[in-house]
Structure 1
Amino acid sequence: MVGGTVLRRVRDDDLPVMRRWRNHPKVRAASFTGHEISADEHARWWSAVRADPARRVLIYEHDGTGAGVVTYSGLGGERAGWGFYLDLDGLDRSGALLRAWVGLERAAIDHAFGPLGLTILRGEVLADNEPVRRLHRRFGFIEVATYRRPVDGVPREVVAVELYKEEQG
Structure 2
Amino acid sequence: MLRQAQDDDLPAMLRWRNHPKVRAASFTTHVIGEDEHARWWAGVRDDPARRVLVYEHGGTASGVVTFSGLTPERPIASWGFYLDLDGLERSGELLAAWFGIERAAIHHAFGPLGLTTLRGEVLAGNQPVRLLHSRFGFKETGGYRRVLDGATVDVVTIEFTRAPREEEA
Confirm or deny that 1:158 pairs with 2:152: no
Gaps of 5+ in 2: none
Aligned to 2:142: 145
Aligned to 1:125: 122
Confirm or deny that 1:52 pairs with 2:52: no
Aligned to 1:3: none
Gaps of 5+ in 1: 1-5
In structure 1, the residue corresponding to 2:163 is in which secondary structure?
helix
Give 2:15's aligned amino acid: R
Q: Output the TM-score relative to the length of structure 2.
A: 0.94
Deviation track 1:5-64 (CA, whole Å, cap 9, x = no partner) reads: x10011111000000000000000000010000000000000000121100000000000
Q: Output the TM-score relative to the length of structure 1.
A: 0.94
CA RMSD after TM alignment: 1.1
Structure with larger RCO (C-alpha < 8 A, sep 6+): 1
1:3-22 counterparts in 2 under 5 A?
Answer: 6-22=1-17
Equivalent-residue separation in structure 2 for 1:9 and 1:153 (angstroms): 35
* Runs of 4+ off more than 4 Å: none
Equivalent-residue separation in structure 1 for 2:7 and 2:108 (angstroms): 22
The answer as to whether partners of 1:32 and 1:152 remain within 8 angstroms in 2 is no
Confirm or deny that 1:81 pairs with 2:78: yes
Aligned to 2:32: 37
Instruction: Give the CA deviation at 1:167.
Output: 8.0
Q: Pick the aligned partner of 1:101 from 98, 101, 124.
A: 98
Give 1:56's aligned amino acid: R
Deviation track 1:62-116 (CA, whole Å, cap 9, x = no partner) reads: 0000000000000012110000000000000000000001000000000000000
Deviation track 1:106-165 (CA, whole Å, cap 9, x = no partner) reads: 000000000000000001000000000000000000000111012223211000000011
